[in-house]
Amino acid sequence: MGLGDFMLFPQLNNSRLLIKLDGIWDFALGNEEFDESLCLSPIENAEKVYVPASYNEQKADERFYNHYGWAYYQTAFSLPDISEKRLVLRFGAVTHACRVYLNGKQIAAHIGGFLPFETKILQSDLKAVNLLAVAVDNRINTSTLPVGNDIKRAMFGSGLPDFESVHKTEIKPKNYPNFDFFNYSGIHRSVWFYTTPIEHIKDITITTDINGKNASVSVNAALSHGGAADVEILDRYGKTVATGNTDAPLNISDVHLWQPGAAYLYTAKITYKNDCYCQKFGVRSVEVKGSKFLINGKPFYFKGFGKHEDSDFYGRGINQAQNVKDLSLMKWLGANSFRTSHYPYSEEMLNLCDEEGIVVIAETPAVGLNKNSYGKVFETHKKVLCDMIDRDKNHPSIVMWSLANEPDTEDENAHDYFMPLYDLAHERDPQNRPVTTVVCNNNYTADRTAPAMDVICANRYYGWYIFGGDLDAAQQAMTAEMEYFKQFGKPFMITEYGADAISGLHQSVPTMFSEEYQKEYLKCINSVLDKYDFVVGEHVWNFADFQTIQGTMRADGNKKGVFTRDRKPKLAAHYLRERWNK
């Protein structure tokens, strides 16, 4: 893989200035038609919202919660004299598409709601006081990632009469997700201005090779004006352990490995001309060997969850206090991992996982894929996969890439769709991590994709969506499925299994939606998993209750969390704590 020109995470140091624009911004809701006038001059009678956060739950107003179409943000700012510097504007994530204006001039546009984008700012574009405007489009459909439904299919399913002519009802336009989480919208991660010298470091890629007690470290850098950069490797205490440059590997003697639950991070200090960037990294190996998943040559068993970036008021907006709390609760449970279901999470969260020794499966926002979308989203899927790997390639916490969640892999086109993406992920990743696709076909014997992946990852809900309330049947069905997948000789991981539980609902006889049933359900499925040595992990769905679209299956969101949305433990959490801490 060649070095890309992807952006580094913003950093404040002696050569780089960093200014964050987070705070209260002016705001206005729009409609389906883009209104450029709301980007050219200050919004009259503007609302106030906080950035970064979803706008949906910031107001006690149904218009915000169920908004469909464009919305408009504005903020005014001034900058110190930076005439001798290169100036860049960076957005951590804006969901789902946006156009950016500075002082009435469009300077950027982006599609995709979960990865960063940036644009260079010219001195000639700046004034003493500047107006930054961001127009955000939250609409989803069969050609977006994540995938949306058309209104007719969402309301009535396929093959039913036209509801306008038969039911005499006109439904106002709104989003109908083909995924089971709320379509939160807005500027979800921080907005930064940062500077670099004109001659600067554009990208850094670090790979390591362990040889006994030593490690070879290759630090490759994309440099604006070519040449090589000096490299200094520092240990966790800031002591220099190796020096060299980007032309040749460096050697670390008596290396400390990055271990799950026992993180050790080194820092590569790269100096180029007048620019400097410090990139943290870990020395560790990841490998699939037979039916085992190995980290540092030792079998690893995933204990943890699928989760969501989801919280009160913030919606999908970055919430660092909650990130700290979530990882603390995982450690309290004895969990060691999670999947970024169902989109790339913030870089801040991944940095925290690097520091805390939490193992991560990183997933693209390709959720809801079916035969109606395969032909429409492939190029977008390729781009978001490459962008995710380019952004996250240096994180030691990430040990596997997930191409998608629950696509229709029974479809005759599924294998030909996913295998080029599988190959692309291996080619793109300088660490060549394992690659998977998380499947959930009821007829698993017809799945055309899962057996071709490095790790077979499946979501399964026997005892809930299938055989609901019948744990004896659930145990039989889960056993039959494990017997089927055993034949492939590959690691198997259950990436979702769970049951809704209403917090505080208790029953002497475990019945669906009670805390007792959720606990017994998990015990039932685990009793099957424990019998098979090719099983390499269990990720419960979900870490915490989360918000979804309104519907008859959801009472104030999805209640499969073992914690409530405000992080209070249910009975199942105490069961998992006992199991995972053994």
Alpha helices (H) along 303-428 = 320-333, 347-356, 374-392, 414-428
Compute the C-alpha angle 71/545/157, nearest 5°. Answer: 65
CA pair distance 431, 443, nearest whole angstrom? 34
Q: Which of 57, 347, 363, 406 is catalytic?
A: 406
Task: Tally the C-alpha atoms within 13 A of residue 186's C-alpha that lie toward its C-beta.
Answer: 32
Residue 417, sorted as left (phi over 0), alpha (psi -120 to 50) or beta, turns out to be: alpha
Q: Which of 57, 496, 515, 520 is catalytic?
A: 496
DSSP assigned state of 311? B
Task: Tally the C-alpha atoms within 13 A of residue 365's C-alpha that lie toward its C-beta.
Answer: 29
496 belongs to the catalytic site:
yes
- CB of 304 within 8 A of CB of 338? yes
- CB of 110 within 8 A of CB of 92? no
Place of tokens 């991660």: 189
Q: 10 Å Cβ neighbour count for 274?
A: 12
**Residue ranges of E strands in 344-501:** 359-363, 398-405, 435-439, 456-459, 492-496
With H, G, I as helix, E, B as strand and everything else as coil, classify residue 175.
Answer: coil
363 belongs to the catalytic site:
no
Q: Tell me the backbone φ, ψ of residue 4, rounded to 5 degrees.
A: -90, -175
Q: Tell me the backbone φ, ψ of residue 347, rounded to 5 degrees.
A: -60, -30
- CB of 139 within 8 A of CB of 175? yes
- What is the total residue count of the chain? 582
- CB of 532 within 8 A of CB of 490? no
Q: Tell me the backbone φ, ψ of residue 578, rounded to 5 degrees.
A: -65, -45
**Catalytic positions:** 406, 496
